[in-house]
């Protein structure tokens, strides 16, 4: 009875939260007339009636969806891989290496979480536009309209450093001392001792980094005007510039949502384990 009282409310809550996703997936298979006809009944959540993949075909004919998906995959993968390396090494230095200003620096890193990105977006665009990349006589290649302007500003992340720091603090320092006796330096300790014991933390940080990178909208809208470099969320506004076809919008939304769902389901065990073991410890 206790188990039923625990899992039944959780199941009902999961079903409620799943309704919008189910509606989106089902509606992506129907024409607009069928979508509006089914709104007043349970058919809105069932793949019945005029079901086909025409909306998905129309999406690729209406907007360069394949290019948008590829751009988001490139940007997200680069942010995640570089972020895991940079943030984990920064957290390792703050958590495992004893030096005087480590607590102060960690406090400053956590303080960056107070500022929402929207408050610094405009100044950041200004400074990014002033940064040179390749400069020679009569030729200058800047940062705007590039992949790097979508990647490099988001590699270092205060929340990722904090999560890694919390996990690294739970690893016994005796392992570091044993490794140093064997002749390992700090880089070897990081690579051979800490990283192999931090799989759940890396999976959690990777997942939490990938989701905002994949869902990035404001920053690419401000810094990327070239259609060949824009990510998936920018493509949503293309459908509202034309005759609005809700079936196609649902199909495009499904295309950009399914990769996130797959990523979460693949890493959910590691995510839950990391949060339970380290994320809530002070």
DSSP states along 148-187:
HHHHGGGSS-HHHHHHHHHHHHHS-THHHHHHHHTT--HH
Please answer whether residues 72 and 52 qualify as being in contact, where contact means their C-beta atoms are separated by less than 8 angstroms: no
Are 14 and 117 in a shared domain? Answer: no
pLDDT over 70 (residue 216):
yes
Q: Do 130 and 173 belong to one domain? A: yes
Average pLDDT over residues 4-31: 89
Give the confidence band of 90 by pLDDT, cuts at 50, 70, 90. Answer: very high
Domain count, the chain: 2
Q: Is the pLDDT of residue 164 over 80?
A: yes
In terms of Cβ atoms closer than 10 Å to its own Cβ (0-12, 13-18, 19+), residue 45 is middle
Choose among 107, 91, 103: nearest CA to 166.
Answer: 91
- Domain check: are 106 and 79 in the same one? yes
The encoded tokens of residue 261 equal 């769902």
Question: Is the pLDDT reported for residue 280 higher than 50?
Answer: no
What's the confidence (pLDDT) of residue 102?
87
**Co-location of 214 and 120 in the same domain:** yes
Distance of CA 113 to the CA centre of its chain: 16
For residue 83, what pLDDT is reported?
96
Is the residue at 3 inside a domain? yes
At 139, the pLDDT band (50, 70, 90 cuts) reads low
User: In the chain, how long is the greatest CA-to-CA distance?
Assistant: 78
Q: Which secondary-structure segment (H or E) carries 11?
A: helix 2-27
Q: Alpha helices of 28-64 — where are they, by DSSP H?
A: 32-37, 54-62
Average pLDDT (187-207) is 90
Cβ contact 205:166 at 8 Å: no
Confidence of residue 220 (pLDDT cuts 50, 70, 90): very high
Read off the DSSP letter of residue 132.
-
Range scoring the smallest mean pLDDT among 32-41, 69-78, 132-141: 132-141
Q: What are phi and psi of 157, to 5 degrees?
A: -140, 125
25-35 b/e with 16+ CB inside 10 Å = b? bbbbbbbbebb
Residues 250 and 189 reside in one and the same domain? yes
Quick: pLDDT tens for 107-117.
Answer: 999 998 888 88
Given pLDDT bands bounded at 50, 70 and 90, which one contains residue 281? very low
What is the distance between the alpha carbons of residues 68 and 73, in angstroms, rounded to a whole number?
9
pLDDT-based confidence at 274, cuts 50/70/90?
low
Whether residue 89 sits in one domain with residue 17? no
245 in the same domain as 111: yes
Share of the chain above pLDDT 90, in %: 44
Between 265 and 249, the higher pLDDT residue = 249
Among residues 39, 222, 28, which one has the least CA distance to residue 121? 222
Provide the pLDDT for residue 230: 92
Task: Indicate whether 1 and 68 sit together in one domain.
Answer: no
Query: How do residues 21-50 score in pLDDT, each as one tens digit?
Result: 999 999 999 999 999 998 888 888 898 888
Q: Do residue 189 and residue 138 come from a single domain?
A: yes
**Are 217 and 135 contained in the same domain?**
yes
Assigned domain for 161 exists: yes
Q: Hey, is 112 helix, strand or coil?
A: helix
Task: Please check whether residue 193 lies inside any domain of the structure.
Answer: yes
Q: What is the pLDDT of residue 140?
A: 58
**5/82 same-domain check:** no
Answer yes or no: is pLDDT of 242 > 70. no
Of 255, 250, 246, which is closest to residue 28 (Cα–Cα)?
A: 250
Domain containing residue 120: CATH number: 1.10.3720.10
Structural domain containing residue 208: 64-279
Same domain, 213 and 74: yes
- The per-residue pLDDT for 72 is 94
């Amino acid at each position: 009875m206790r188990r039923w009282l625990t899992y039944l409310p959780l199941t009902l809550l999961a079903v409620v939260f799943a309704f919008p996703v189910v509606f989106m997936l089902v509606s992506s298979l129907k024409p607009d007339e069928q979508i509006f006809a089914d709104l007043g009944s349970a058919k809105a959540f069932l793949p019945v009636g005029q079901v086909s993949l025409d909306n998905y075909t129309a999406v690729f004919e209406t907007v360069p969806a394949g290019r948008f998906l590829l751009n988001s995959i490139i940007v997200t993968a680069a942010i995640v891989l570089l972020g895991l390396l940079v943030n984990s090494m920064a957290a390792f230095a703050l958590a495992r290496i004893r030096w005087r200003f480590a607590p102060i620096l960690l406090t400053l890193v956590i303080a960056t979480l107070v500022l929402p990105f929207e408050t610094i977006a405009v100044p950041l665009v200004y400074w990014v536009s002033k940064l040179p990349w390749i400069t020679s006589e009569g030729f200058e290649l800047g940062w705007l309209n590039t992949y790097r302007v979508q990647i490099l500003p988001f590699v270092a992340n205060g929340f990722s450093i904090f999560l890694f720091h919390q996990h690294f603090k739970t690893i016994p320092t005796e392992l570091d001392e044993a490794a140093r006796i064997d002749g390992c330096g700090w880089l070897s300790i990081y690579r051979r001792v800490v990283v192999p014991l931090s799989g759940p933390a890396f999976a959690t940080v990777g997942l939490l980094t990938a989701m905002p990178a994949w869902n990035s909208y404001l920053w690419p809208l401000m810094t990327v005007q070239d259609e060949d470099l824009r990510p998936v969320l920018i493509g949503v506004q293309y459908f509202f510039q034309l005759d609005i076809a809700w079936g196609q919008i649902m199909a495009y939304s499904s295309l950009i949502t399914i990769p996130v769902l797959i990523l979460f389901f693949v890493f959910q065990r590691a995510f839950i384990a990391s949060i339970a073991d380290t994320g809530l410890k002070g």
